[in-house]
Amino acid sequence: MTAQRAAEPDAVEVSGLMINRGRHRVLTDLSFTLPSGRITGLLGPSGSGKTTLMRAIVGAQRIGGGSVVVLGRAAGHPSLRRRVGYMTQDPSVYPDLTVEANVRYFGAMAGAGRRDAQAAVDAVGLSDLRRRKARDLSGGQFSRVSLACALVARPVLLVLDEPTVGLDPVLRVDLWNRFAALAAEGTTLIISSHVMEEAGRCDSLLLLREGRLLAQLTPQELRRRGATDDLELAFLRLIQAQNAGVAS
C-alpha cells in the first residue's frame, strides 16, 4: 500500500511561492510538495497565510512569484475545476435556499444528481434538516452545508478551510473519520485549522507562521522535535527554537 502510494505523482507542488496583497507580503518563498491520497493539515495562527495559500492552490489567488502545480497542471487551469473542491472559511452558500437546494446547485456544476446530493447531505449529518432554509440553521450547521457543497462534486483534491470550527466534538470526530475514509479512497485533502489537537488526525502537517513555512513534518515528528505529546506546546517550542536560531 505504501509503495503504491509512493509511486503516485504528487498532488500539489509549490515552489518559491510569493504572494503580496497591496504592499504587504502575505506569503514568502514557500516550497513544498504534498503526496496524493493523504490528509495534510495546514496549521498556524490566524493571519499566518493559511487561507491565502489555499486560495492559491485552488487558483483563486493571483500570485506574485513562484509556481503552484496541482495534479500536474498550473493551479487554476480550467481542467482542474472539475477535480478540485474548495470550502471557504466563511460558509459560502445561499442562505435563502434549503440545504438540499444548495447542495444540488453546487452538485449540478459537477454533473452530480439528486442521489449524490443526498449522500453529501447525509455525510455532514444534516439529513433531518435538508428541507430547512440555510439561514435558519445554527453557525455550525451552516458551515456543514458549505462542506456538503464541496463534497458533492467528489473532487480528487479537497481543500477545506477550517471545516470543523464551532462543531460539536462528536460531529468533529465523525467528520475526521469521513476525511480519513476519503483519503483511503485516494482523495487528497488539505485541511486548515488553528486547533492543534486536530493536527494529530493528519498524515502530515504544514506549519505556517507569518507567511513562512516553519516546517513540514508528521505529527509524530512534531511530538519528537518538541519533546512533548502536546502538539500545541510542540508547535510553540518549534517557533522558539527557530527564533533562537535566527537570533544567534
Binding residues for other proteins restricted to 99-158, rule: CB under 8 A: 101, 105-106, 108-111, 133, 149, 153
Which of 42-50, 80-88, 183-191, 222-230 is the region at the interface with other proteins (rule: CB under 8 A)? 80-88
Sign of the alpha-carbon dihedral angle for 143, 151, 68, 246: positive
d(CA 155, CA 175): 17
Quote the CA–CA distance of 172 and 178 in Å, as a whole number: 10
Tell me the site size for other proteins, rule CB under 8 A: 31
Q: Which is nearer to other proteins, 93 or 222 (CB)?
A: 93
Binding to other proteins in span 174-233, by CB under 8 A = none
Q: Which is nearer to other proteins, 60 or 171 (CB)?
A: 60
Would you state the cell numbers that stand for residue 119, as one nine-digit string? 449522500
C-alpha cell at 177: 473519520
In the bound state with other proteins, the residue whose beta carbon lies nearer, of 26 and 183, is 26
Number of Cβ atoms within 10 Å of the Cβ of 113: 11
CB 208 within 8 A of CB 57: no
Q: What minimum distance in Å lies between the beta carbon of 146 and other proteins?
A: 8
Cβ closer to other proteins: 150 or 199?
Answer: 150
Q: Taking Cα atoms as reference points, which of 146, 73, 81 lies closest to residue 111?
A: 81
Q: Using CB under 8 A, list all residues that contact other proteins.
A: 20-21, 58-62, 76, 78, 81-82, 84, 86, 88, 90, 92-97, 101, 105-106, 108-111, 133, 149, 153
